[in-house]
Structure 1
Amino acid sequence: MASLSFVLRARARRLRSALAPRRLWAARWRIFFGALAVVAAPLLLVGILALFTPLPEELREPAAPSLRVHARNGKLLREVRADDGARARPLPLASFPPHVRDAVLAAEDRRFYAHLGVDLGAVCRAALSNVTHRRVVSGASTITMQLARTVRPHRRSLWGKVTETALALRIEASLSKDRILEEYLNRVIYGPNLRGYAAASEAYLGTAPESLSLAGAALIAGLPRGPSLYAVTKRPDLAKRRRDRILVRMAEAGMIDEGAKERGIAEPIVANVDKPAFGAPHFTRALVSGKIAGVQPALAEAMRDKTALSEIHTTIDPELQRTAETAVTATLATLAPKHVTAASVVVLENATGDVLAWVGSPDFYSTAALGQNDGVLALRQPGSSLKPFVYAEAMSRLGFTGATLLPDVEIHIPLPGGGDYVPHDYDGKERGPVRLRDALGNSLNIPAVYTIQQVGTATVLARLHAFGFASLVEDAEHYGPALALGDGEVTLLELAAAYATLARGGVKKPVRVATRLVRADVPTELEAPAAEGRVLDERIAAMITDILSDKSARMSAFGDQNVLELEVPVAAKTGTSKGYRDNVAVGYTREVTVAVWVGNFDGSPMRDVSGITGAGPIFREVMEAAARSRPAPTRARSLSIGDDAARLGLARTSICALSGEIPTSACPHRIYEWLPEGDADHAPPCAIHHRVRLDMRNGLRAGPGCTREVTTERVFERWRQPYTEWARRTNRALAPEASSTACPTDDDTAELDGALGDGSGDPSVRDPLAPRIVYPFDGARFVIDPERPAELQLLEIRVEPEGTTVEVRVDDTIVSKTRTWPLAPGTHTITARNGSHASSPIRITVR
């Protein structure tokens, strides 16, 4: 029994020995196929996912850049972040030097050009290292996988890693290796709000990738592993250790030699404290937002689609911009006690229309002063700065010249809704008759209102529209004659552009704000816009410019050596709105135009600050700085008509200083004025100055009966309406009315020259009961507006004293009781009669 058991056990042992190798191999095959399944299943899954994973749309288009706005000299004014909030400057791979690309490969993926998006060797090494150290000490993400994770971020999970790997395989199958590396360099995050290698290079080291040293290239290449951990400005020691490791790897891979490695390691880190540029903040904001793109058609077209738009090179002169900002800050510091908190400046180059400087407020970041308001684009009343355009229209339509005599006495202008509009000069004085040159030079209000009444508010408004004042959107009736004094709202940019048109002799040209665009690395030059056409006759523009640049013309109001007296010839005008809420100073040389506004953004009034004391000092400093930047021969060119007279058809003509007419021997003072050639040949002689023979014994008029021994001749003035009251009140040199009893004249009402000493030849002087026509004035001119119904164009005739017994006639036709007469072309005579008492005739011209 025992032996049988022994035999069975022996046979069993032999059987097991025979089967052991087979079982071992079976076990081994089971382990192999199991391991293969463990590896193949994820790979199969990843492969299947990759087949059905589309290439992200982001990679079909270039990486979106941030928008960089440059000054005319290339200086960065502002960088506007891309839609994702990052600063980015995508570059083609060729723009990254070899040592930059090598540093990136050494830092992130040395086998980049050998694998297919997933480096299996690196995966195995990373797994072994992580198991050995029982923590994650090494990753296996390739550059392609990092790019996949950048364009399609995911949560840290196994499934996230699977989808990332699948997308990496899709990217490798769709794009070339160079394209993948380029996308990586332009899309991976290198720091807070820094997308791409170039943005990090400029932010941390202040230089473009093509200018980086080897050490700098390695420093930036190490950032994606931990943008905050290796931040150059916060943790320079860790950043240096990371950089040095990359340099060692580059040497180990044969990318650099030992000497280059050692020099790189020895190079100190000099970080750039990058403060985002924000020069000319109001200008760049208006440009990027599209608010001013419309002023330049080519730019407007480009701004409709900002895709891949990376650079705008503007017309801003950074030096002049800085001068303007400094002038604003310094002047407002002195004006603070007068409740002045804001000012704005815009400078244009006349020839091109380029905006050279743009200051919207003294401090863009001041909340208290409403600093983000832009005074260049804000609607403000321009005050007297519109007067040149009123007089230009009168010169164009009515033939006015600098010699035209205008009333600076109290006038009453009927308003459509009832009542009168009574303008006053800034100082409350009345100067009687003034020539247009002096009226404009001294910024007198009454002559300007009288002129706009003569030429018509509608026609002046049309002229302002032609000059580019698009903000004047109401009709003429809304503004009324006060439009001559700036009773309407315009922008400072419109005002500057209109004065630049005067500087160009009446040729309007669009404003230009940009000279070049870069889109998808393709530059596009923006030529200076072509002129829009002539909006004012060159001769009239020259006459206006001559007046605005005439120092003597403004001396009586502003004195000698005022802020408008510059070291260069300049045509300038100031303006102050009602209640001291706004004041402006605007003017031009041959080359540039400067416009300045001073006030408060909340609309509160300043305390007795005019255009001369407020905007004037800023205007002076900015204009002189702008002029100094020009060649000496051009900045010294005079603005007076001078040598251009013959070409313009103007002649320097002697006129009576008081009447503006051709002088007679009785005129005591003569001056020169530019008049159209030939005008002097048929112009009337001075009608104000005349000689009267007096009896020296009593100072009365001497008749033929007085001998020469007892008589003398003196020059007197004779005045017609509306100057008679002013002449009496101001004690003008009026001839006596009575004649000497020793030698009476043939007619007590006559004078040697055929007019009364008060000049009117006016029966009202002799007859106190005669009515007096107070409006219109003698010699007034009116223009029929062809666009308005004729029945609405009525002239209201005003007579004193008022009463139903007074009969008014125009050309012997009785006017209705409403005292309104429909305008008709021609020269007309208006008279008023109360019984046997008649007024002096008033003559008007209607065109």
Structure 2
Amino acid sequence: MTRRTRLAALLASTAAVALLGVYGAQVAARATLQAPAPTPILTDRNGAFLTQLGHEQATPAGRRTEYGYWQVAPVPDRVARATLALEDRRFWQHPGVDPASVLRAVWQNLSSGRTRSGASTLAMQVARMQQPGPRTLWHKAVEAGTALVLTARYGREALLAHYLRLVPYGNGSHGIAHAARYYLDKPVQDLSWAEIALLSAIPQAPALHNPRHPRGLARAIARGQRALEELARQGTITGAEFTVARAQLATLHPPPLPQRPEALHLVLRLRGLLEAQGIHGLDPTDPRIRTRIDLGVQRDITAIARAQLAEWRWQGAQQVAVMVMRRQTGEVLAALGSAGYANTIGGAFDYTAEWRSPGSTLKPFLYAVALERGQLRPDEILLDVPDGASGIGNADGAFLGPMLPRQALANSRNVPAVHLLRRMGLEAGFQALYGLGLHEMERPADRFGLSMAIGSLPTTLDRLMRAYGALANDGVMRDLQWYDGQPLAEPRGVLSATAARQVGQFLSDPQARLPAFPRYGSTEYPFPVALKTGTSQGYRDAWTMAWSQDYVIGAWMGRADAGTMAQISGSRGAARLAQAVLLRLHGRTADALEAGAFPIPQGYEPIALCAQTGQPDDGQCGPTLTEYLPAGQLAPSRLASNAPPALASEAEAPRLSILSPEHNSRLWRNPELPPQLNRLPLRAAVRPNVPQVVWYVDGEPFAVATPDQTVYWPMTPGAHRFQLRLPWQDVSSSPTRIVVE
């Protein structure tokens, strides 16, 4: 052998060793079973499809989302037999590469002059699906080597299960367990021979055999019939099974593809929660996640919110958000983030999580904390009078004078709330709201000042929902529950049960809301409801938070640009929305009265108090309210610390008189007019002038108005008595009596 020959041989052997090394390295790098994590399907609490969350991948054609990869353990016998009969008949005999199939493929390819058979075994397909590459001879060789190592390392049963986890079924679906649920809505264990044949037809050309399109379904059925014939020829199925499966396959129509409901904000919220918090006990063979959402409720509140928003658009409202949760458990039944994600102004923002000014919705927590700490008594008199020190007035520009805490909170008076915060201390109030989860601000409390009591401290609707849930549940706070298996903190007491129940009593008393909120309007219900409205400065946000025996709801209305609306307050826009939602949830109409009440604090008893002094009613004090106080512990009432020195020496009470109707009138309704047009104008005369008067009809409050405002009363047959009164003062007109026929 010449020197040149020896050198060539050495170079050839070196190259071969190097090539073998590269080959071995590539095989070793690929010879592990790999699969993306199983992707979940989300359903509502009743099992209805909500969405599925997949793995997003960047491709030359754009981003693509892949689903499935559910584990198959154990592999159902029918699925195993069909898979091996169609894909790898000698699976249990060969070591990962089938020499007989290789020789047959080589012969077919050489004799035809083109590639007709790839001789890929199931193990080789696993190698290719895990790391796809060009269909070159080198890659085929690497796949073959990888298949040999995978078979030796993991065994054939694991390889079969892994193949059934990875194989594509079109429409982004991977793995037969996911495909069975996605296309046929059943577990893989329950697949019939006809259904197995249909699914087995898809992987060869998923786009061509897409069962969601008529032509694709026809092709898949035709290929499935050939698969059944092959299974029968091989003896995998009996003649009787073949006959039944063939007939079933011919008429098989998968149910409609599950469609995500129009609740994109909700889906994005759930995806974010799952990514951030994970899930306990997720089954990798069937990773369906049952959420707490009720899609029926979601659809209802969406329709109600859009209809209500349409009525307010002419006054500048652009967006709306609503949340509903079960009071006892904190389960979120519905969450509407906006009126429309892509087709409304600012619709892409999720307003259940946007930081906004809460208006007066924080007041109940200040009252609850003050009651719990002994800084406020339920029989204490607070003063709603002008206060130059804070420069804060009331939204209506009026002042109602001395009043009980029940009235001050139910009427949402700003001045008493500001003075209560001053009494508590800015920092103490700021930290109390932090402890309730209403903010995460690290700024000093004086950055917000006393206006923190009326909305300068921003928060979000979902935070308000959790905090109001604590008020509604004896001071016990729970995390909002969105889905089964969600990691949740242990419920914890953030307020005493006594303070929470006291505030609930304040907020559920329609009589205590007078005169700011007239009876039988948007804040009144035929069953017990505690509620608080809120309006931010400049009418930028309108809120209503409410709870009944069964539900807690939150409603918000506003603008995407944080601009002002035309006097859309919480008691107008948001309260009407909340009322419509709660009535729908309870299946009631506004006039269907229902008995019931919220529980009173344990060890407390009812007592009638004079509304202006807080003293027990002696029959001489004028307006009264029923308050609950510790049994046998009634203490003398005291004026609040902001009482002005001249309070006791105010000018004499105004004189009130009724101009219309005339006393002892007898009136007739026009039978040709619709009932809503048979109205009687009510007119008053007051000297000297006052900001507000209350019209009483038959002893019940009917309307709050300015003295020069004409009020219209719907005429009803019978004898009636009219009277004018000042809000929370023992000043009234002489009664006027009429008869309507």
TM-score (norm 2): 0.76
Does the 8 A contact of 1:361 with 1:375 survive in 2? yes
Of the three residues 541, 554, 566, the one matched with 1:582 is 541
Does the 8 A contact of 1:592 with 1:627 survive in 2? no
Does the 8 A contact of 2:381 with 2:637 survive in 1? no
Distance in 2 separating the partners of 1:674 and 1:607? 39
Amino acid at match of 1:255: T
Partner deviation per Cα, 1:522-562 (whole Å, 9 max, x = no partner): xxxx6x642223x3232222221111010111142221222
Residue 346 of structure 1 deviates from its aligned partner by: 2.1
Equivalent residue number for residue 484 of structure 1: 453
Q: Secondary structure at the match of 1:73?
A: coil
Equivalent residue number for residue 552 of structure 2: 593
Does 1:427 find its partner at 2:396? yes
Q: Secondary structure at the match of 2:51?
A: strand
Amino acid at match of 2:381: L
Equivalent residue number for residue 647 of structure 2: 723
Of the three residues 222, 231, 235, the one matched with 1:241 is 222
Aligned pairs for 1:595-634 (under 5 A) are 595-627=554-586
Does the 8 A contact of 2:543 with 2:557 survive in 1? yes
Does the 8 A contact of 2:177 with 2:285 survive in 1? no
Q: 1:722 to 1:348 in 2, by over 3 A?
A: farther
Does the 8 A contact of 2:385 with 2:399 survive in 1? yes
Aligned pairs for 1:730-749 (under 5 A) are 730=654
Q: 1:663 to 1:188 in 2, by over 3 A?
A: closer
Residue 221 of structure 1 deviates from its aligned partner by: 0.9
Partner deviation per Cα, 1:357-400 (whole Å, 9 max, x = no partner): 2222222344x523231111111111111111222234344553
Does 1:341 find its partner at 2:318? yes
Distance in 1 separating the partners of 2:255 and 2:20? 45
- Unaligned runs of 5+ residues in structure 2 are 1-15, 58-64, 589-593, 657-741
Amino acid at match of 1:667: C
Distance in 1 separating the partners of 2:157 and 2:203? 19
Equivalent residue number for residue 377 of structure 2: 401
Equivalent residue number for residue 12 of structure 2: none
Distance in 2 separating the partners of 1:148 and 1:487? 61
Q: 1:722 to 1:453 in 2, by over 3 A?
A: farther
Q: 1:213 to 1:355 in 2, by over 3 A?
A: same
Q: Which has the larger radius of gyration?
A: 1
Distance in 2 separating the partners of 1:337 and 1:408? 34
Distance in 2 separating the partners of 1:506 and 1:196? 48
Aligned pairs for 1:152-163 (under 5 A) are 152-163=131-142
Does 1:102 find its partner at 2:81? yes
Q: Secondary structure at the match of 2:484?
A: strand
Partner deviation per Cα, 1:114-143 (whole Å, 9 max, x = no partner): 222222222333333344444333342111
Does the 8 A contact of 2:325 with 2:331 survive in 1? yes
Q: 1:47 to 1:169 in 2, by over 3 A?
A: farther
Distance in 2 separating the partners of 1:438 and 1:530? 35
Q: 1:685 to 1:511 in 2, by over 3 A?
A: closer
TM-score (norm 1): 0.67
Amino acid at match of 2:336: V
Q: Secondary structure at the match of 1:675?
A: strand
Partner deviation per Cα, 1:122-174 (whole Å, 9 max, x = no partner): 23333333444443333421111111111122212222221121111122221
Does 1:495 find its partner at 2:464? yes
Q: Secondary structure at the match of 1:505?
A: coil
Using CA pairs under 8 Å that are at least 6 residues apart, name the structure with larger relative contact order, 1 or 2. 2
Q: Secondary structure at the match of 2:150?
A: helix
Q: 1:342 to 1:58 in 2, by over 3 A?
A: farther
Does 1:385 find its partner at 2:361? yes
Residue 619 of structure 1 deviates from its aligned partner by: 1.5
Distance in 1 separating the partners of 2:287 and 2:468? 34
Of the three residues 98, 114, 136, the one matched with 1:119 is 98
Does the 8 A contact of 2:228 with 2:242 survive in 1? yes
Distance in 1 separating the partners of 2:222 and 2:18? 39
Aligned pairs for 1:290-689 (under 5 A) are 290=273, 293=276, 299=277, 310-366=287-343, 368-397=344-373, 399-413=375-389, 421-516=390-485, 529-533=489-493, 535-627=494-586, 637-639=596-598, 641=600, 644=601, 647-648=602-603, 650-663=604-617, 666-680=620-634, 682-683=635-636
Distance in 2 separating the partners of 1:474 and 1:458? 11
Does 1:257 find its partner at 2:238? yes
Distance in 1 separating the partners of 2:482 and 2:171? 32
Does the 8 A contact of 1:130 with 1:136 survive in 2? yes
Does the 8 A contact of 2:544 with 2:575 survive in 1? yes
Equivalent residue number for residue 260 of structure 2: 277
Q: Secondary structure at the match of 1:614?
A: helix
Distance in 2 separating the partners of 1:447 and 1:726? 20
Q: 1:330 to 1:476 in 2, by over 3 A?
A: same
Residue 640 of structure 1 deviates from its aligned partner by: 5.0
Distance in 2 separating the partners of 1:487 and 1:569? 30
Equivalent residue number for residue 804 of structure 1: none
Distance in 2 separating the partners of 1:159 and 1:665? 103
Amino acid at match of 2:93: A
Aligned pairs for 1:9-158 (under 5 A) are 54=27, 59-60=32-33, 63-82=36-55, 84=57, 85-94=65-74, 96-158=75-137
Equivalent residue number for residue 173 of structure 2: 194
Does the 8 A contact of 2:49 with 2:258 survive in 1? no
Aligned pairs for 1:814-825 (under 5 A) are none
Q: Secondary structure at the match of 1:348?
A: strand
Distance in 1 separating the partners of 2:495 and 2:184? 55
Distance in 2 separating the partners of 1:261 and 1:130? 33
Distance in 2 separating the partners of 1:345 and 1:598? 9
Does the 8 A contact of 2:375 with 2:424 survive in 1? no
Does the 8 A contact of 2:197 with 2:227 survive in 1? yes
CA-based RMSD: 3.4
Q: Secondary structure at the match of 2:598?
A: coil
Equivalent residue number for residue 199 of structure 2: 220
Distance in 2 separating the partners of 1:725 and 1:483? 33
Does the 8 A contact of 2:382 with 2:416 survive in 1? yes
Q: Count residues with an aligned counterpart.
A: 623
Amino acid at match of 2:269: A
Does the 8 A contact of 2:512 with 2:625 survive in 1? no
Equivalent residue number for residue 664 of structure 2: none
Of the three residues 177, 187, 204, the one matched with 1:208 is 187
Distance in 1 separating the partners of 2:18 and 2:241? 45
Distance in 1 separating the partners of 2:650 and 2:476? 41
Q: 1:137 to 1:481 in 2, by over 3 A?
A: same
Distance in 2 separating the partners of 1:430 and 1:314? 48
Residue 249 of structure 1 deviates from its aligned partner by: 0.3
- Unaligned runs of 5+ residues in structure 1 are 1-42, 294-298, 414-420, 518-525, 630-634, 688-718, 733-847
Equivalent residue number for residue 831 of structure 1: none
Residue 251 of structure 1 deviates from its aligned partner by: 0.3
Residue 407 of structure 1 deviates from its aligned partner by: 2.1
Q: Secondary structure at the match of 1:124?
A: helix
Does the 8 A contact of 1:46 with 1:166 survive in 2? no
Distance in 2 separating the partners of 1:332 and 1:615? 10
Q: 1:651 to 1:275 in 2, by over 3 A?
A: closer
